[in-house]
Each structure stands twice: as structure tokens, then as C-alpha cells.
A = this chain, B = another copy of it.
């Protein structure tokens, strides 16, 4: 059995200083790599060597305390089991790691955003990235005084990056219309998550401008999960007349919808066309591959991180325009049946 807890780093600047026969602050000067530090080359060498021999590693905590910067950011997402958010995390983590920042990962599925925000505050994080967490509905002041970048949830009071969710809905509608569909269905969660609302809006708008109105029974509210999609599709399939094309608020729902079709003996895309939104990797696992709207999840995370760092550096973090989304026409959509 391995040995027990060992202190991580016992070697301090003081140790290095003693070994090199200099004062501790001088070590700080050299190690800190301050470019304009004028230290005799000989001493510098001596210090660096002493540090190397001792295996010295700077203590970020101590540095944080004195500099008032934690060199860490918080990242809160609704649920890592949705691959879409996993990509957002990857994008943000990469950028942060490149900058030498740590990412304090928080999944709000269990503990709730407020709780995590409290914890992040206590850790003095330099900023927080939140994805689709209903920032508007957070307890008053949960975000006060924090450097925040919101993903896919434009709120005037905060910085943020977003995908072009309305366009996502429009693209879906356009694609389906072009295939000759005239009778539609839509499914999305009841929650007030911005991206879902906008996707729906874009979809409905585009249909309307083609002279097609959606009755309320063509518009199903259900959880944004596979099970939710399955349930919603069942009721949609029971409609009379039955929609020939269905747009799902995200890919997980679309997968559920497909399952419901398979179970109900409804052929996709021959009898009914199904579209998702997000373009998670699994969209191409299924057969036929899922027609969907590609949302650049990784880029969303990466941009949010970049924007946050710009903020932290006092640069003007101009809010960029929505990230472009694109149609990924694949196998679950086809011309409307005659």
C-alpha cells in the first residue's frame, strides 16, 4: 500500500534563497521572471540553479493572496451528461489552460448554480463562465460583483457569447420547407432557457412567413432529453393529420423522437422527417444519420473564455455577434411524402 499524505511542496523561496546565499525577495525577482529585473547574471544563475537542485515550485496560492488574483476561473454548466456541454467545457478548458488558468468545474445538475457560485466566490476566482443557467432567474445578487461571461443567454447586464439560435430555427424551417413539407411539429422544453426559446421562435417565424401557422397541438413541451423526445413524438404521431416533419429543440430529443418512430412503425425519413439541433457527435452514430443544425459548442466555450480573459485584463470586451450555425443535412430528412 502506498504511503500516506505528503505535503505537496515543501521547498519555499526561503530555502532557495538560503541555498543560493541571497535574500528571499531576490529569489522572487528572479523566479518571477520579471523581465525588467536587473539582477547580476552570476546571482541569477546561482539562484536558478539552487531552485533547480531543490526542485522548487512556485506556490500559486501565496502568490494569489498577495496579488489578489486567483488565476482561476469557474465554469458552471447545467449537465455534463449532455455531450453538447462537454464540448463547451473542452473549449473553455483549452483556452484557460493555455493561459495558465485553472478551471474550477461545476456541474449544476446536482447542487445548483447558486451553491457553486458561493463556493467560487469563496475561492476568489477571477471570473465565472455560465452556460444556459437561467442567469436571469438566479437569486438577486448571486452574480453581483463577479466577472461573468454568459453563454447562450444574452442578458444586458452581463457579457456573453451566444450562438445564432433564431437562425438555427430558421434554417431548420427553411430546409424542411424546401423539401416540400407543409405540416410541421416542434418539440422543446418548457423551461425558459434562451437558446431553446429562440430556436423555436426562429422556426415558427420562418414557417409563418411561408404562410404556415403552427397550432398549439403541433407544439409539444417536454424535457430536453431522449425520454422527453420520445414522449413528445408519440403525441405528435397521434395527431390527425400527422405532421410530415418535426423539428426538435436539441439532438437528444431528436434521438428520442426517432425511437418513438421506430417503435410506432413510422419510417424516417420516408414517412416523417426529423431534425435535431446541436450536432453532437452521436448525431452521426445513428442510422440514418441525424439531420441537424450544427452549433459550434467548443467555439462557444473557447470564446467565452477568451472574452473573460480580455475582461480580466481590463481590455474592452466587445461583445461579438452571434456565432454562425449551419445546416447539416443528413439522413433523417427527405422530401415530403405525396
Contacts and interface: CB of A to CB of B under 8 A. Distances in A.
Contacts of A2: 148, 157-159
Given A102-B104, A119-B100, A286-B285, A70 B81 contact: no
A83 interface: yes
A300 to B, nearest CB: 15
Contacts of A86: 80-81, 83, 86
A255 interface: yes
A104 B87 CA distance: 17
Given A8-B121, A61-B123, A94-B107, 14 more contacts: A4-B311, A4-B314, A9-B124, A65-B65, A72-B104, A80-B86, A83-B86, A97-B110, A100-B119, A104-B105, A226-B281, A255-B285, A259-B287, A287-B287
A59 B314 contact: no
B146 A8 contact: yes
Interface of A: 1-2, 4-9, 57-62, 64-65, 68, 70, 72, 75, 80-81, 83, 86-87, 89-90, 93-94, 97-98, 100, 102-107, 109-111, 115-116, 118-119, 121-126, 145-148, 157-159, 226, 255, 258-259, 262, 281-282, 284-287, 311-312, 314, 319
A123 B102 contact: yes
Given A100-B119, A104-B102, A62 B60 contact: no
Contacts of A104: 72, 102-105
A38 B159 CA distance: 46
A158 to B, nearest CB: 5
A280 to B, nearest CB: 9
